[in-house]
Amino acid sequence: MRLDEIKNRLNLTLLSGNNPLNSNVSRGYVSDLMSDVIAHGKEGDIWITYQTHLNVIAIALMKNMAAVILIQDRVLIPAAAEKAEQEGLPVLSSSKSAFEIAGELYQLGIPG
């Protein structure tokens, strides 16, 4: 499913990196543990996390993820937001919990 469709269907707020919202999301991944994401995150993932620092952006870029979703109305720290914008990494936000977002992605047909 395309990222712009997910954004619209889940009513997500785009925080940074509006290019490319037409990329395809292959699966969802939920973790706040950076080493876990480095070990198990994959290209095309949409990563759900509570973390907002620069390492989130670095890891998402390193793993070539489709996007990051921040939960519970979190926003990136300024340095992370700037890096995501420079690199074109879409970072989205939701007021919902990780559990709720993961469930909604699963209902849309995005596997975990």
Is residue 67 assigned to a domain?
yes
The tally of domains found in the chain comes to 1
> What is the C-alpha separation between 1 and 75, in angstroms, rounded?
24
Per-residue pLDDT of the chain (112 residues; tens, 9 = 90+): 999 999 999 999 999 986 668 889 999 999 999 999 999 999 999 999 999 999 999 999 999 999 999 999 999 999 999 999 999 999 999 999 999 999 999 999 999 8
CATH code (residue 81): 3.40.1390.20
pTM for this entry: 0.95
Is residue 112 assigned to a domain?
no
23: containing domain: 3-107
> What is the C-alpha separation between 73 and 88, in angstroms, rounded?
21
